[in-house]
Amino acid sequence: MLEALSAAFSELFSIKIILMIIAGLFGGLMTGALPGLTATMAVALLVPFTFAMSPTDGLILLGAIYMACIYGGSFSAILVNTPGTPSSIGTTFDGYPMALRGEGERAILVATYASVYGGIIGVIFLFFLSPPLASVALQFGPPEYFWMAVFGITIISSLASKNIVKGFIGGAIGLLISTIGIAPIGGDVRFTAGFPQLQGGVELIVALIGFFCIPEAMTMIGQRTKKFHLAEAKRQPGIFLRTLREVMKKQGNLLRSSIIGTIVGILPGAGGSVANLVAYNEAIRASKTPEKFGTGYIDGIIATESSNNAVVGGGIIPLVTLGIPGAPPDAVLYGVLLLHGLRPGPELFTTHSQIIYTFILSLFIATILMLPVGVICGRALHRTVVRLPIRYLAPLIIFLTVIGSYSIRNNIMDVFIMLVLGMLGYILKRLGFHPGPITLGLILGPIGEMGFVQALLMGAILPNRWMIFFDRPLSWVLIIMSAVSLCWPLIAKRLAKGWKIKEM
Amino acid sequence: MKSDRITSIVFILVGLAFWLQTEGLQYNGYIFPRFLALFLILLSAILFGQTFRKIRPPQNNGGRDDLKYILVAIPIVLVWIILLDVLGFVVSGVIFLSILTILLDLERPKFTRVISVVAVYIAVVLTFWFAFHKLLLVPLPPGYLI
């Protein structure tokens, strides 16, 4: 191992590799910041460029792109209330209110520091704890995936604190939309209203763009007579170090969210889209000032951004140890490994240890370099967006939504679906339904349905097939977590009352 | 509140529509959506009940939007999406972006201002077209033009 490590170090510290990482970071940041272009797409698009490279160089470039893309999603989440990737949904909740207050630059810096922190924690877990963590992920069967989806849905009680019923209705709408198309088991065609284009279902990214971007662009258009710019840019001298100190004081939130990100990343099929919302929920529950979340509070950004970048390291753990991709971009990395003649699995650490250690160390370096590259790009983007008049910004947002929704499947129908969902999202927003729970339902729907139906099939051997959901200890852990999460607003109120009485 | 009452009735109907659509599906295909439809109907009924309570949950009305401009912008976007496959990404993009920007301009459009807007968008759209179509090989909507 030591021999492979020293070889990896000597290979990494060359001008060519560092430049390649920086190029990957720039590319990843720009792709991540564009709504609709996900980390999976960015990594997949760049695969042909790696054909002519050595396996190590190819993995280093794609790793840097992957890491930066997840972080880049926070830029558009903060500046235009549109998550660049599904991993940044939670960042909109506090990032955008900060941008509207003229604190967009501070929000971007918080996202940068938290992303770097989360990325490093994820890579540390990847380096030291790969085999034991991967074996824990294997304990998850269909009933556990179903309960994990239920646990995810209970997050709505924290997300929609203003009106929990409306939050859960939004979640149910999202879950129902996710069932449109061919059933995952059995192959029935459902709820397509006769449109063959809907058989493939509603693409998550298309729905995400629709529910977040279009209502925002419509609001800008609707308020055009009141505002010339989206927000005012305040000059804040010394913001770089001051924000760093502020973020570093939140060690509990940073560490908790990074660990959540790593664990969710390890679970196949979950990924950053789930991790950022789970971490946000846990940050609210652990906070003594939960009422500040959603109003432009840095703890919210810290939770989502540290967790989604920790997913990168976490997702690679089952990939390199078991040959199972943890998150969708890892599936593309799986393909890249195969293309270069490397079989993902336990033997990677024995037969190709130098390549794997070089890749892991390059991820670490990419995460560190993300700090200067991210700060430069983030500040430049912030200045551009706040200086751009709304009459240009709103059409450009719509323009980007069209590119994003079309390029997922090269289907014009997806653009129509995006617009329809966008109009629905705008109406629902006006009626007090937040897009967060709807998209959460969309993300968790396929995970929940697959787990639910597969578990019922597994349960056929039991006297009562429904007992499969309560048959395993890990299921009970998730059931208890879901119950606590669901009742948390009530528990928190009781606790707060108790604290107040004690203080008196 | 009246809007919540109407919304809850609409969602109950949506839930029922989803439930009815599951008729004829296999057990594995309908069991999960039926649960969800039931869940939606139940929650909507609770929301309906809430509208009769004296203490109402806080409403999120946000700022007032000028619907007139939104109602003009939506058909423009719709026409643009339809024309994407006819005129192509570049031509339709420049036309649409220019129209929407001129619509949102607070000042009366002057000829020089219109020309500058169109020039800006030709540069922007061509940059995106080059980056996506030529550099990254991402397919963009083709048309009879570019």
Q: Are A39 and A325 in contact (CB under 8 A)?
A: no
| Residue A83 backbone class (left: φ over 0; alpha: ψ -120 to 50; beta: rest) | beta
Question: A392 and chain B: CB distance < 8 Å anywhere?
Answer: yes
Question: B112 and chain A: CB distance < 8 Å anywhere?
Answer: no
Hey, which residues 199-218 in chain A have their CB within 8 Å of chain B? 218
Query: What pLDDT score does A326 carry?
Result: 73
Task: Pick B28's closest partner by Cβ from A185, A224, A448.
Answer: A185
Q: Do B33 and A188 count as a contact with CB atoms less than 8 A apart?
A: no
Alpha-carbon distance A32 to A37, whole Å? 6
Domain residue extents for chain A: 2-498
Query: What pLDDT score does A35 carry?
Result: 74
The residue assigned the tokens 């010339």 is A228
User: Averaging pLDDT over each range in A147-156, B50-59, B91-100, which range is the top one?
Assistant: B91-100
Question: B73 and chain A: CB distance < 8 Å anywhere?
Answer: yes
Structure tokens at A173: 């709408």
Alpha-carbon distance A8 to A362, whole Å? 9
Give residue B54's pLDDT band: very low, low, confident or very high (50, 70, 90). Answer: low
CA-based nearest distance B11→chain A, Å: 8
The residue assigned the tokens 């941008």 is A99
Hey, which residues 120-139 in chain B have their CB within 8 Å of chain A? 120, 124-125, 128, 132, 136-139
DSSP character at residue B106: S
Structure tokens at A167: 């939050």
Alpha-carbon distance A444 to A174, whole Å? 9
Task: Pick B69's closest partner by Cβ from A185, A224, A410.
Answer: A224
A334 contacts: CB under 8 Å, gap ≥ 6: A319, A323, A325, A344
The residue assigned the tokens 């396996």 is A55
Segment B73-94 mean pLDDT: 91
- A182's enclosing H/E stretch is strand A181-182
Q: Do B43 and A225 count as a contact with CB atoms less than 8 A apart?
A: no
Alpha-carbon distance A380 to A365, whole Å? 23
Does the pLDDT value for residue B63 go beyond 60? no
DSSP character at residue A463: S
Name the residue of chain A whose CA is nearest to B86's CA: A412
Name the residue of chain B whose CA is nearest to A171's CA: B40
Q: For chain A of 504 residues, list the mean pLDDT of each consecutive stretch of 10.
A: 76 86 90 78 77 85 92 90 87 91 91 95 87 72 90 79 85 94 90 87 86 86 71 74 93 94 82 88 88 90 94 86 77 82 76 85 93 90 82 87 84 91 91 86 89 92 91 90 82 70 60
Q: Do B36 and A176 count as a contact with CB atoms less than 8 A apart?
A: yes
Query: What pLDDT score does A334 carry?
Result: 83
Query: What pLDDT score does A81 carry?
Result: 85
**Alpha helices (runs of H) in A431-472, residue ranges in sequence order:** 435-458
Q: Do B139 and A407 count as a contact with CB atoms less than 8 A apart?
A: yes
Alpha-carbon distance A335 to A503, whole Å? 59
Backbone angles phi, psi at B74, to 5 degrees: -60, -50
Name the residue of chain B whose CA is nearest to A187's CA: B29
Question: A296 and chain B: CB distance < 8 Å anywhere?
Answer: no
Question: B32 and chain A: CB distance < 8 Å anywhere?
Answer: yes
Q: Do A391 and B104 count as a contact with CB atoms less than 8 A apart?
A: yes
Q: Do A225 and B106 count as a contact with CB atoms less than 8 A apart?
A: yes
Nearest of A78, A103, A104, A102 to residue A89 by alpha carbon: A78
* ∠ Cα A323 A262 A282 (to 5°): 145
Query: What pLDDT score does A226 carry?
Result: 64
Q: Do B62 and A395 count as a contact with CB atoms less than 8 A apart?
A: no
A205 contacts: CB under 8 Å, gap ≥ 6: A36, A38, A86, A404, A405, A408
Task: Pick B25's closest partner by Cβ from A172, A188, A426.
Answer: A188
Q: Do B32 and A223 count as a contact with CB atoms less than 8 A apart?
A: no
Q: Do A412 and B85 count as a contact with CB atoms less than 8 A apart?
A: yes
Structure tokens at A405: 């929704």
Hey, which residues 457-476 in chain A have their CB within 8 Å of chain B? 457
Give residue B21's pLDDT band: very low, low, confident or very high (50, 70, 90). Answer: very high
- A461's enclosing H/E stretch is none
Q: Do B106 and A224 count as a contact with CB atoms less than 8 A apart?
A: yes
Nearest of A333, A324, A244, A368 to residue A40 by alpha carbon: A333
For residue A190, give the 3-state DSSP assignment: strand
Lowest mean pLDDT among A265-269, A396-400, B73-77, B112-116: A265-269
Query: What pLDDT score does B103 carry?
Result: 86
Q: Are A296 and A112 in contact (CB under 8 A)?
A: no
pTM, entire model: 0.81
Q: Are A144 and A451 in contact (CB under 8 A)?
A: yes
Q: Are B106 and B74 in contact (CB under 8 A)?
A: no
Alpha-carbon distance A307 to B139, whole Å? 32
Query: What pLDDT score does A339 carry?
Result: 80
Structure tokens at A264: 């969710």
ipTM: 0.90
Tell me which of B71, B104, B125, B140 to substitute to probe the interface with A (most A C-beta atoms closer than 10 Å): B104
Hey, which residues 258-277 in chain A have their CB within 8 Å of chain B? none
Nearest of A204, A278, A218 to residue A35 by alpha carbon: A204
In chain A, residues with a C-beta closer than 8 Å to the C-beta of B44 are: 169
Query: What pLDDT score does B46 carry?
Result: 94
Segment B111-132 mean pLDDT: 90
Question: A390 and chain B: CB distance < 8 Å anywhere?
Answer: yes
Q: Residues A478-484: contacts with CB within 8 Å, 24+ apart?
A: A478/A144, A478/A147, A478/A148, A478/A150, A478/A151, A479/A147, A479/A150, A481/A151, A482/A147, A482/A150, A482/A151, A482/A154
In chain A, residues with a C-beta closer than 8 Å to the C-beta of B76 are: none
